[in-house]
Amino acid sequence: MQEPASTIFSLLNFYVHIRMLRKMKNELRPDTPLKWLWYMYGIVSCHAWIWSAVFHTRDLPFTERMDYSCAYSIVLMSCYSMIIRVLRKFTMVNLVITFFFLIFFLDHVLYLNQGRFDYSYNMKVNVMTGLLTVICWLIWSYLNKEKLKHIWKIQAYVTLVVVTTLLELIDIPPLLWMFDCHAMWHLSTVPLHILFYSFVIDDCKYLRNEELKYEKLTGLE
């Protein structure tokens, strides 16, 4: 095992996603709006963290490319999920968005796997996608802060994501030759998943209640 700390923390991230997916399954009805979306987000995340653990266990060209490709799948899925949540009532628009995101991800992965790995391009795409997601979440949460009591959770989450990502920019010697900044970044993301899924569960419950209110209202009419 080449990087034991990063490997263990990657597996810990995987475990937390599994636990929170089970929590979501237990707390949300099968017909809850957007439950399918967050299940897909969880599955994509679990897959990516497995490859992160594999890569940190054995650094090979194939495992490196899988790690980078799957890491971006989380970033892009986060952006996609945010857009679908915000525009959830526009079915046709969401279909176009889904098609675009699929094509973009496939094109990104194919480009990275042709010839020499382009680290600079991959970093720029990740940063731009991540910034778009953070900015849109913050704007949406600001516009809905009076209506949604659980909105503070997504505000706190995206803020902490930005703060913890700064660990990737710090270059200091590893503690005990094992706990470097990258490993500590992996560890720092673990509690953030719990906060994010807490928002997701609250938000899905809110959407379910709004749906029931609408059905009751139209039934009275």
- For the chain, the average pLDDT equals 91
Whole-number Cα distances in Å, 57 to 7, 11, 155: 6, 11, 34
String of DSSP letters for 9-53:
HHHHHHHHHHHHHHHHHHHS-TT-TTHHHHHHHHHHHHHHHHHHH
pLDDT tens-digit map of 83-142: 999 998 888 899 999 999 999 999 999 999 888 889 999 999 999 999 999 999 999 999
- Residue 201 three-state SS: helix
At a CB cut-off of 8 Å and minimum separation 6, what does 126 contact?
71, 72, 75
pLDDT tens-digit map of 46-74: 999 999 999 999 989 999 999 999 999 99
Q: What is the sign of the dihedral through the CA atoms of 165, 21, 26 and 80?
A: positive
Task: Give alpha helix (H) positions in 32-150.
Answer: 35-57, 61-86, 91-112, 119-143
Burial status of residue 179 (CB atoms within 10 A of its CB: 0-12, 13-18, 19 or more):
middle
What fold does the segment set 4-220 form as a domain?
Rhopdopsin 7-helix transmembrane proteins (1.20.1070)
| Residues 56/11, Cβ–Cβ less than 8 Å | no
Predicted model pTM: 0.91
Confidence of residue 4 (pLDDT cuts 50, 70, 90): confident
Q: Which of 136, 139, 156 lies closest to 202 in space, CA to CA? A: 156
- Whether the per-residue pLDDT at 221 is higher than 60: the answer is no
pLDDT of residue 166: 83
What are 124's two structure tokens? Answer: 């720029």
pLDDT tens-digit map of 130-188: 999 999 999 999 999 999 999 999 999 999 999 998 877 666 656 655 677 778 888 99
Whole-number Cα distances in Å, 16 to 9, 182, 217: 10, 19, 39
At a CB cut-off of 8 Å and minimum separation 6, what does 169 contact?
none
